[in-house]
Each structure stands twice: as C-alpha cells, then as structure tokens.
Chains A and B, each alone.
Chain A
Amino acid sequence: MGVRILIVDDHEVIRHGVRSVLLRAHPEWEICGEASNGKQAIEAVQRLKPDIVILDITMPTMSGLQAAPQIAKLSRDCRILIFTMHESERIASDVRAAGAHGYVQKSQAGRDLVVAIDALLGGGTFFGGKATKKPEGDIPPGVSFCRALCCNWLKPEPIS
C-alpha cells in the first residue's frame, strides 16, 4: 500500500505547487485528496484515511491550527505536517501544542517538504528545518507510519 497524502490549503496555486514537488520526488506517492479549509480537512481525513496531512494555517472558516487537534484525535495514524507562510520562533511550540508532528515553511518547500514527510512517515518529527527520528525507528523510507506500527518498528509517540 502506497503513501496517501492529503493537501489542505486555501490557495489552489499552492496545492498545485506542492503536488508537483512531491510527485517529482516520489512518483509512487498518492495525493489522495485536497481540501481548502480546516473543516473540509477534518471531513477528508475521516473519509480518505491519509497517512499524511499537509495543513496550511491561515485559511477561511477554520485555520490549520484549529483543525490539527481534531484530526489528531480522529486518527492516531495520520501524521500532520503544518505547511505555512508564517515564520516565528514560537511556531514550533504552537504547532506541537496543536498536536501536529512537524512544520515546514512554504518558502522552504523545495528544501524541506519531502524530507519532512519522510521523517513523519518514519514516525519522527520535523521542526525548525530539522528532522528527528524515533530512536528505535529503523524504518525503511517510504513505509507508512501505520505500517511501521503494525510491524512493531516503533512504539506510538505520545501526543502532547
């Protein structure tokens, strides 16, 4: 089973850009859906059961930081990557507090996006431009978090 990715951003041009960056790096990854606000994202996670949600922060109706805790509650298997224009020292703690597993600045998409997704798929996190792997997590790249869990490659990370 391939990696399933949900892209959530209110800008079509961004969703398009992300899609092309990801598919160039990993043609085998599947962009299983797109959404343009937090509410739609929650609904899409329930319906599509993605392995990764790429979640923008500033969106109409419901922001990414509001949607993240609900997505985390809905599915422990789903890894959440905040993808934002914003830049702030505090962003890391706010993103963690929202239950997301990492964040990438939009301006650093080319450098960080794929690396971050790889880290998250491997059960690790991605904050401040750096990936953190799980200590026991000797997981081959491209293996989904849920599969890693099933194969006992790693233990579930407690959600703060």
Chain B
Amino acid sequence: MSTCKVPGLEAPFVPPVSQIPDKHTGHSVQFYADDSFLLDGLTRFIGTALGAGDAAIALATPAHREALERRLQARGLSTAKSIRQGRFIVLDAAETLQKFMVEGFPDQARFRELLSSTVARARAAVEPGARVVAFGEMVALLWEDGKHDAAIRLEQLWNELGKEHSFFLHCAYPIKSFAHDDHSAPFLKICTEHSDVIPSDSYSALDSHAEQRRNIALLQQKEQAHDALRETKIRLENEIAERRIAEQKLRASERSLRELSGRLLRMQDDERRHLGRELHDSVGQYLAVLKMGLEVLKAEQSSAESPEDQQFSDCLRLVDQSITEVRTMSYLLYPPMLEEMGLEMAIGWYLDGFAKRSGVQTTFDMPQPVGRVHRDVELAIFRILQESLTNIHRHSGSSTAQVRLLTTDNELIIEIHDQGKGIPTPVLESAQDACGTTIGVGLRGMTERVRQLGGRLEIISGTTGTTVRATLSCQ
C-alpha cells in the first residue's frame, strides 16, 4: 500500500496519471475539484470494465449516476443490457448508506450483509476470472455531512469486505470538503485506508514527470505560505481576544464612570437642595423677622431726624440687601415651589427672576397642563432650563428666549429656543468628549442628566439661534 503525504510529499512517488488503476483488487481514492474530471475517469473505469465483460457496481449520487449512464451510452455501451445481465449494478449512495447506518455510524453487520451480497451478485453475473469493480461515494456523503469518523470507519469496512471478496473499489471525495486546517489528520487517515491515492485534477492532469515534480514543489511552497498564514491567523486571533478583553474592561470602566457621575449629580442635587432650603428656611426667615423688628422700633422712634433714625435706616437697607442675596442664592440652589407646586409654577417664577437678573426677555408656553411627575424628572427638566438660560445669557448674545413645555402620553419635553449666535461646533462636539469649555461642561452635565433618566437631549445650533430640546419619560 502506498502512503500519500499530501501536501508535503517526501518520496518521489508518482501516481498513475489521471487513471484509476486497472487491477483485480485494491482500493483507490480520488480527490476532485471538478465534476467533469471525476466523471471522465469514472466513465473510463466503468466503461473499460463493462467493455471487457467485467462486472461493475456504482454507488453514486443521482447526478453522478445519470451523467455516468449518459457518458457510457455516448461511448456506445448499452447500460440497460449490462443491467439486465446483472453485471452492472447501479445503486443510490444515500439510500444504500441509510440501510446500514445505525445512530450516525456504519453498522458492521448490516454493511457486510448488504454489500457482501451485492458483490456476490455481481460476481455471479460474469465469467470466472473476470473482474468486479465498484465505484462508491457513500464515504464522501458522510464526510460532507461532517461525520468524519463514520467516513473513515466505512473505508475500513470496505477494506474488511475486500478480504472476503475479490473486487476493486474506487472512492471519490470532492477536494473542497477538506478546506479546513482540522481536516489534515482525518485526510491522512483516509489516504492510509487506500492502496492508491489519486490527487485532485490540478496534479493528476499533468502528464510529464517533470511537470509533476514542479507541481509538488509548488505545493510545498504553498504549504509554506499556508503555514505562515496560519501563524498570522493565530496571532490575529490572540490579538482579537486581547482586544475583546480590553474592550470589556473599557466598557466596565465606562459603566462605573457613568454610575459615578450619576451619583455625583444626585449628590450635588441633594446638597444644593439642602443648602437652598436651609438658606430660605432659616437665614431668610430670621432676616425677615429681624427686619420686622427693626421697622417696629423705627416707627417708635420719635424724631425723624435723629442719628439713631439714620442708623436704623442703614440697618434696614443692609437687611434688605441680605434678604435679596439670600433669596437669589436659595432660588439658584434649589428652585422655589418646584416640590410644592410643580414645574409650571416653578418655571414661571424662575423665568421672572431670570428676566430681571439678565435682561433677557423670556416667554413661557405650555399648550397643555403638565401634571406632577417624578421628582427627579421635574428637577432634570428644571436644571436643563436653568443651564440653557445661563448659556443664553452668558454666551449667545440673544436678548430673547422662548421656553416651551410639552407633554405627550408618557413623555415630557422641554424646548429652550434663542435668537443668538449659536454654539460653535467644537464646543458642541466637546459636550460628548472628555474635555470642554465652560459651556461644554454645562452641555455635558445636561447630557449626563438626561442619560441618567433614559431620555434624550437634542441641541440644534446655527447662526440664527439655538434650540435645546430634552425629552424625558415621565413614567
């Protein structure tokens, strides 16, 4: 039995050129890339046997059976007659296979029973001394089905049958079904189960020894290239795996960063609220009472022109200033009325104060009444309004601003529109990035706030103005 080491052939082994061995016994295998290459050889193989009065068995796919019969008839052979004589047995590969496969594996007893009788039948149809040849591609079907072990086992069963009966078997596999690296070992196993190996078309079709040696050298070169490619592939796979891990780490750190920034926002909100409330509830109230007391005392002063009266007036002015400062600070820290009365009133009051402080004329439009929604959503809407108005005042140069609060079935939308010079593109972009200017920071804060609540923030900015639109779910 010849051993084939494909593709790294070492021995100067040269198989018969594009021919299936013309012997009484043996087990050859052919690999083919092109159907017509297989059929040419097969027609010659079966045709020669039938022509010489030998018996032939074909275990083939419907397509190959049909093509084979057509080609044999074209060579002037009457296949029907040979079939009638019982020396040409044509069987469907898949159907026959099914008869002896048990749980995905060829059953030895069933195989032997079935094929032994088939070979015996063929043998009985010819003169003593004539050959029995068989072509089979059941193994190829198993292989293509991914049942590699079953295919090799079937080759072995054929070899066992060859010990009982005298016949020559020729197998064929399409070479394209060995395209994977993992196929090397089972491929070698298949080769070792055969007495003859016929390489695929590109090699077998060569007709000079020199050409075949050139072809072997070419195959060796290809193998080298293939090895290098395989190494590159492994390296790339490792690299991809490393990157995947790095990506996972990056995502995890992004997640924790987001959680952290969410926590920071909440902490900041809580802190501001606490401070705002504290200023309003304690210092503000004490100052108001202080002023009441001073006014009562001042009223009781008899002379209007006394130095004490002047002193009182100065004190009252200072108290007034303190009250205003404290109120402004507390309003900025935490919107008054938001918790008690909701967005509509809080926005109205805030816009009032804003117009007074900044000189920017604002309008507030709310086509439908907005009921109460979750505290966090109300606060987010309010903070976005605050941030946008601050930007309008500081950067846009617009003297007007329009605020709209819209509500749908389950969403709350705030729109802040100005007629200013627009936000420069780099600043707008930096809102998404790590670094940014003051507005950038503000925009990022807004973006983050909206993201935390699963909403969306759109900023449309041009030379004629900017629109900030935040959409939040209110469920």
B partners with A = yes
Which positions in A face B, CB cutoff 8 Å?
Answer: 10-11, 13-14, 16-18, 20-21, 24, 57-58, 63, 65-66, 85-91, 94, 106-107, 109-111
Cα separation A111 to B295 with both chains bound (whole Å): 8
Sample of 8 A–B contacts (CB below 8 Å): A10-B281, A11-B281, A20-B296, A21-B292, A63-B337, A66-B341, A90-B352, A106-B288
* A90 CA / B284 CA spacing, docked (Å): 20
A109 and B295 contact, CB distance less than 8 A? yes
A91 contacts across to B, CB distance below 8 A: 349
Task: Please count the residue pairs between chain A and chain B whose beta carbons lie under 8 angstroms apart in the complex.
Answer: 85
Q: Is the CB of A21 within 8 A of B296?
A: yes
Please tell me if the beta carbons of B284 and A85 are within 8 angstroms of each other in the complex. yes
> Which residue from B286, B289, B299, B340 sits with its C-beta under 8 Å from A58?
B340
In the complex formed, the residue of A with least CB distance to B336 is A86
| B352 adjacent to A110 (CB under 8 Å) | no
Query: Interface code B255-295, partner A: CB below 8 Å = 1, 0 otherwise?
Result: 00000000000000000000000001100111111011111
B interface residues (Cβ-Cβ under 8 A, vs A): 280-281, 284-289, 291-296, 298-299, 319-320, 323, 327, 336-337, 340-341, 345, 348-349, 352-353, 356
- Contact partners of B281 in chain A: CB under 8 A: 10-11, 58
Contact indicator B340/A90 (Cβ below 8 Å) = no
**Which of B291, B298, B356 touches A107 (beta carbons < 8 Å)?**
B291
Interface pair A109/B349, CB less than 8 Å apart: no
Closest to A13 in B: B289
Chain B residue at minimum C-beta to C-beta distance from A91: B349
* B contact residues around A106 at 8 Å (CB): 284-285, 288, 292
Report A-chain residues with C-beta under 8 Å of the C-beta of B289. 13-14, 16-17
CB distance from B111 to the nearest CB of A (A): 90
Q: How far is the CA of A66 from the CA of B337 in the complex (A)?
A: 11
Give complex CA distance A109, B298 in Å: 13
Q: Is the CB of B352 within 8 A of A89?
A: yes
Instruction: Return chain A residues, CB-CB under 8 Å to B285.
Output: 11, 13-14, 85, 106
- Asked if A88 and B323 sit within 8 Å, CB to CB, the answer is no
* Min CB gap A129→B, angstroms: 14
Q: Considering the chains assembled together, what is the distance between the CA atoms of A47 and B356 in angstroms?
A: 42
CB distance from A83 to the nearest CB of B (A): 10
Nearest-neighbor residue (CB-CB) of A97 within chain B: B345
Instruction: Tell me, rounded to whole Å, the shortest Cβ–Cβ distance linking A128 to chain B.
Output: 13
A111→B292 CA distance, assembly (Å)? 9
Secondary structure type dominating chain A contacts: helix
Asked whether B352 lies within 8 Å of A88 as measured between CB atoms, the reply is yes
**Cβ A94 vs Cβ B296 within 8 A:** no
Inter-chain contact A57/B291, CB cutoff 8 Å: no
How far apart are the CA atoms of A85 and B345 in the complex, in Å?
A: 16
Kindly state the separation between the CA atoms of A66 and B320 in the bound complex, as whole angstroms.
28
Contacts of B356 in A (CB 8 A): 89
Residue numbers in B under 8 Å from A20 (CB-CB):
292-293, 296
Partner among A10, A17, A90 whose Cβ is within 8 Å of the Cβ of B293: A17
Contacts A14-B285, A17-B292, A106-B288: A63 and B340 contacting too (C-beta < 8 A)?
A: yes
User: In the complex, what distance in Å separates the CA atom of A58 from the CA atom of B284?
Assistant: 12
Chain A min CB distance to B375 (Å): 15
Closest 9 CB pairs of A and B: A110-B295, A106-B288, A63-B340, A17-B289, A88-B349, A17-B292, A89-B352, A88-B352, A90-B348
Nearest CB on B from A95, distance (A):
11
- In angstroms, Cα B106 to Cα A52, docked, is 104
Q: Given the complex of chains A and B, what is the CA–CA distance between A85 and B3 in angstroms?
A: 102
Question: With A14-B285, A58-B336, A86-B336 in contact, do A109 and B341 touch (Cβ < 8 Å)?
Answer: no
Given the complex of chains A and B, what is the CA–CA distance between A111 and B298 in angstroms? Answer: 11
Contacts of B345 in A (CB 8 A): 65, 90, 94
Inside 8 A of A90's CB, which chain B residues have their CB? 345, 348-349, 352
Complexed CA–CA distance, A86 and B353 (Å):
11
Using Cβ atoms and an 8 Å threshold, which residues of chain B touch A10? 281
CB nearest neighbor in B for A62: B340
- Report A-chain residues with C-beta under 8 Å of the C-beta of B291: 107, 109-110
